[in-house]
Amino acid sequence: MTEDADARRTAWMYLSRVVTGPCPALSALIDRIGVTEAARAVRECDLPESLRGPTELRRGIDCAERDLETIARLGGRVLTPDDVEWPSWRMLALGQLDAARDQSAVVPLVLWVRGPLSLPDSTEQALAVVGARCSTGYGEQVAAEIVGDLAGQGWTIVSGAAFGIDGTAHRAALAAGGTTVAVLGCGIDRPYPAQHERLLAEIAETGLVISEYPPGTTAHKHHFLARNRLIAALSDAVLVVEAGSRSGARNTVKWARRLGRPALAVPGPVTSAASVGCHRMIRDGEAMLVTRAEEVLDEAGPLRLSVPDRVVADDRTPDGDEGLVYAALPQIGSRVPDDLAELSGLPLSAVRAALPALEMAGLVGSDASGWFRLTRTGRSAR
């Protein structure tokens, strides 16, 4: 019952444009009936009441072909959860949040990407660095020093390409010859802010510029709040360098905490308005105080290492959902998640959560054909 890969890709792209940003009801529908069937249901308005409103405005817009052309012209690509380059492990915690509490707490349907790197590979060891748009010389100096140290040690710097600390973080990573990822709240064909057009072009040359919003989407305040969850999800920790009293950085820190990522903040003079938000987050126990790169590593480093240690050390056969999914994988050859869901009797979302965990445990792998079992010495025979 493997669906045609192109049809599935077109369905993901179509649905992503219909809702433009996170939509828990649609994600739930896709989990339940699969992406191509969900696309058909939306097109034909064969929908539960809860999905009619959110899809009404744009369900007639079906420009996947044109979007693919646009993105190809930019030298970019689109990633869907079916792709090997999809950052499954990074999205794991996001997929387990309760979307009833926050309408943004769902995995994006697609990611539009510019840049030469693999998204999962480049975010394997990643630190988000965010902060005040109205930064001070002090904040910029500290951000540049910490980023320079960590980028030089192979850490990817994830940020939002905004003025101030975001821009400083990207630039310092580039200057150190490191990798940096910009996550936008608009289409990746839109340089936002406009003054950062050149910076974004530089990032796309050696790093990645990504967005869940289709090409042409303009920046909106609520896009940035949803975007912040991806900055946190794609990173091992979130570092705030300067934040005013109403900074958006606090929202990124909130996502970090919900996703189990350490939230870190750099203090500054108590006489500086640009440090008020950092001090409040430290004081309220929302963020840990850090002053330099080594302290960032103290918080961001061990967590990343402890998880594989724990799983790999466990040499038993997987149990629970992971056991069911593993049993549904053939001894020879591979299967796609939809088939695994059907064979295991689990919802697709549970299959999607189990696969990266099995991968972490060194039991499965994936390529363009789907997921397959690994033997002790490598990939099982095909």
Q: Which residues bind its own copies (CB under 8 A)?
A: 138, 141-142, 266-271, 275-276, 279, 282-283, 288-292, 295
Distance, CA of 223 to CA of 21 (rounded, Å): 7
Residues in the chain: 382
8 in Cβ contact with 38 (< 8 Å): no
How many CA atoms are closer than 13 Å to the CA of 219, on its beta-carbon side? 16
Distance, CA of 196 to CA of 190 (rounded, Å): 10
Which amino acid is it at 114?
Answer: R
Distance, CA of 301 to CA of 172 (rounded, Å): 20
Q: Please, what is the minimum distance in Å from the beta carbon of residue 299 to its own copies?
A: 10
Q: Please, what is the minimum distance in Å from the beta carbon of residue 302 to its own copies?
A: 15
Comparison of 110 and 276: residue with beta carbon closer to its own copies? 276
Q: Please, what is the minimum distance in Å from the beta carbon of residue 146 to its own copies?
A: 9
Q: Which tokens go with 25?
A: 């009801």
What dihedral angle (degrees, nearest 10) is formed by the CA atoms of 243, 298, 86, 186? 10
Comparison of 271 and 317: residue with beta carbon closer to its own copies? 271
Q: Please, what is the minimum distance in Å from the beta carbon of residue 167 to its own copies?
A: 20
Distance, CA of 290 to CA of 194 (rounded, Å): 32
Q: Please, what is the minimum distance in Å from the beta carbon of residue 118 to its own copies?
A: 34
Neighbouring C-beta atoms of residue 231, cutoff 10 Å: 27
Comparison of 235 and 275: residue with beta carbon closer to its own copies? 275
Comparison of 16 and 247: residue with beta carbon closer to its own copies? 247
Comparison of 218 and 291: residue with beta carbon closer to its own copies? 291
Q: Which tokens go with 62?
A: 């079906």
Neighbouring C-beta atoms of residue 148, cutoff 10 Å: 18
Q: Please, what is the minimum distance in Å from the beta carbon of residue 290 to its own copies?
A: 7
Comparison of 264 and 325: residue with beta carbon closer to its own copies? 264
Distance, CA of 18 to CA of 12 (rounded, Å): 10
Comparison of 146 and 353: residue with beta carbon closer to its own copies? 146
Q: Please, what is the minimum distance in Å from the beta carbon of residue 264 to its own copies?
A: 10
